[in-house]
Each structure stands twice: as structure tokens, then as C-alpha cells.
Amino acid sequence: MSAAYEATSAWAQAQDDADALRGFRDQFLIPPHEGRDSHYFCGNSLGLQPRAVRPALSAELDYWSELGVEGHFKGRLPWMDYHEFVRDDLATVVGAQPHEVVAMNTLGVNLHLMMVSFYRPTPERHAILIEAGSFPTDRYAVESQIRFHGYDPATALVELEGDEANGTLSLAAIERALAEHGSRIALVMLPGIQYRTGQAFDLTAIVRLANRHGCMVGFDLAHAVGNLPLRLHDSGADFAIWCSYKYLNGGPGAVGGAFVHDRHARTTLPRFAGWWGHDKTTRFQMGAEFVPTYGADGWQLSNPPILALAPLRVSLEIFRRAGMDRLRAKSLRLTGYLEWLVQARLHDVLETVTPRDPERRGAQLSIRVLGGRERGRALFEYLMAHGIIGDWREPDVIRISPTPLYNRYADCLAFAEAVRHWAGRG
């Protein structure tokens, strides 16, 4: 495939013209730069705003002004059931049964709620397995949960160090850690995609390994949801959590989501209960006994935030029309082109941290500049000043994510040409 790539604007334009998904770009607002669209590669940090979000929010504001409290029961999408209006599309995106998913809270809150139920430490088995260098949300949450239960993170937090070039993790390393520590590990908590390296993990294989040692398994899918086709139900994971403001384009601070496997739909495991998690059919009887709703809905605490859910609903409707399989196919081509540009045209300027195997990554390429952090930071600032929007992750990584809903081959080429110009080759 790489032999077919060309570093010319004519070739990139031809690919964009032939792209069956090209029309979806027009459904998003692209941040401008000096009178033209910027080249936005930051959907892995904050997805772009769909054009339909503003009218969707306006409609809910109109219902509020015209109906008041009756908006819970009237209007096109009554607020009482609003979280249900995103359920089917969300389940499709993450590969779950509808009752296994719920849009609620934020990622950190959902992680703590899930750990209340699925981290049940005992004196013999109280460790948690995470990857070294995990995102602070995960690190802080699991360490605080360990301390909350009276254990010491110095011995109860097992951190997997990368065993491959550039700090990525092999499945064999996970297997070795479980062979050594599995009998004392209560929970395996790993990402779907590691935020700094961009490495994607085989969820099903991890669950299979962990289950051999009797461990519960949860995944942080912040960088995987809306990026990779996920098959959460089939993976066998006990739970997963994610945010919705990255690839799902739910807006800054968007409502997060959670998955709870069907086998726990009627779990007797403890949970932190809330009114909205009570059985929907008897919720308004205001009884003293908590009876959880079947499935993931039973972990809800409060009624859904309508103005926060509306943008997510709009974006998920776009995902339904585009289809995750088609988006993944385009993502493979786009990211493959970006990688080819780095390897073929910029190999003495940049190195790629993210695994080269397309099956071990999503849309993100994590890149280092040869010559050290200061050169890397200088390039990043140059790119930003010229309308090439990625992001920087300490200590020395530039993350560039060609998102298939709105990025083009022309964007990838613009990135490469900007780097060449910065390096004195333009």
C-alpha cells in the first residue's frame, strides 16, 4: 500500500475527492486560521463541534422556556428519558448490548463508581494492575481506592513498564505480570489506547489472560471510543468507562459513559446508589428501598443533564450514518499515509513512537523530534502558529490524530510540508 502513496497535492486531492465519507467534514465547524480552515489533528483531545449542535441546544432551551417542568414529559425528546435517546447509538459504537451502556457523569466519577463494585479487595487479593505512565485520572483513582480500603499503593499498585521500543507494552509483558502477581491482583485496569504512545490494546486477549488468574477487568476507553471498533460485550470485560469529548465530539467537559457487562446486570455487588439508578417503573413511588434498574442504568446517580447530552446525541447520529467499520477503514488509510510521510520524507527529523502495526493503533501517531525536547517543543509551537493543530504531551511527544470524520489526506500532507519547511527544506 505504501508504494501507492505520493507526497503531492494532486495525489492527496484525488484521494479526498474519491473518499466516500468526505461529506461528513461539512457537518463540522473547522477552526479558522488566517482566513482558511486550520489543519485540525486534535480530535484525540477535543473533537470538533458538529454544526447541528447549536440548533439542538436551542431546541432544548426553547422547550425549557415554553414548557417549564412539563419539558420532562412533552416535546420531541422528553427529558425524563433523554439518556435513553443516545443508548442504541452508543451501544453500537462500543460493541455492546443497549442495556450494557449508559451516558452519565464524567470519566473520573464513573471510574470511582465502577471500582466501588468491581474492586473488592481482600487481604490475600488487593492489588491493582495498571500500565506505568498511565493517565493521571486512572493513576489517582486507583491509588486513592487502594488507600481507601486500607492498603498501601507501594505494594498494592502493580505498574507495567513498557518492554518494547519507545515504551509500548507487549501482550507477553502483561502475561508475565499476571503470572507473577495474578494471585494477589483484584483488578486489571488498562486503557484501550495508551494516551501518550497511541498504542491500542487487545481487550479480549487481556480479559482472557486476567480471567485465568481470577481478576476483574476494567478498561479506560477515553482514547479508544469513537476511534476503534470496540466489541466490549464479546471481550468479556467486567466494565469500561470513557469520556465523550474526544473522538465522540460531545463538547468540552461532555457527559461520560460506562459499560457494565450483561452478566452483572443483576449483580449483588455493592454500589453507590442514586435515585436515577432505581428501577424506572417504581422510581417515583419514592420508596425507601433501592431497587437497581437492570443493566448499566442501575449505576446512575442523578437525572440526565439535558444540555450536556444534546451535543452527544447529535454526534452519535453522525456516527450512525458514517458507521464505525467505514470510519476505521478510512482511519487506517489516513494514518497510514501520515506514517508514510514521516518515514519517507521526514525520517531524519521525526521518529514515530506509536506501533507501526495498524492493528496496534488508532488514529493517533505520537511523534518525537530527533534532537531532544527543546527542538520538539519548537516544532510544536511552529506548527500551532501555522494552523497545524496537534497537542503536546510531556516530556517530548507531539500527538497528531487524523480523525476520519473530518480530516483529509490534504491535512496530512500539510503537516509534512510544514515540518519540512521548519527543518529548512521547504
Q: Which domains does the chain possess?
A: 2-51+323-422 (3.90.1150.10), 77-320 (3.40.640.10)
Q: What is the pLDDT of residues 123-152, one digit of tens each?
A: 999 999 999 999 999 999 999 999 999 999
Model pLDDT, residue 426? 54
Q: Which residues of 349-365 are buried (b: 16+ CB within 10 A; e: fewer)?
A: bbbbbbbeebebbbbbb
Model pLDDT, residue 290? 95
Q: What is the pLDDT of residues 44-60, one digit of tens each?
A: 999 999 999 999 999 99
User: Which of 248, 260, 335 has the alpha carbon at shortest distance from 1?
Assistant: 335
pTM: 0.96
Percent of the chain exceeding pLDDT 70 equals 99
Q: 48: which 3 cell numbers?
A: 470538533
Grid cell 484525488 in the structure block, residue: 14
User: Which of 156, 237, 159, 160 has the alpha carbon at shortest distance from 192?
Assistant: 237
| CB-CB contact of 49 with 25 (8 Å) | no
Phi/psi at 31 (nearest 5 deg)?
-55, 135
Model pLDDT, residue 1? 44
Name 197's Cβ contacts closer than 8 Å, sequence gap at least 6. 162, 166, 167, 168, 353, 354, 355, 366, 397
Q: What is the pLDDT of residues 333-391, one digit of tens each?
A: 999 999 999 999 999 999 999 999 999 999 999 999 999 999 999 999 999 999 999 99
> What distances in angstroms separate CA 227 from CA 47, 191, 192, 327, one per listed residue?
11, 13, 10, 8
> What distances in angstroms separate CA 194 from CA 61, 169, 353, one per listed residue?
38, 10, 11
| CB-CB contact of 141 with 108 (8 Å) | yes
Q: 32: which 3 cell numbers?
A: 479558522
Q: What is the pLDDT averaged over residues 298-326?
A: 97
Mean pLDDT of the chain: 96
Strand residue runs (E) in 319-409: 350-352, 365-369, 388-389, 391-393, 397-400
pLDDT band at 155 (very low <50, low <70, confident <90, very high): very high
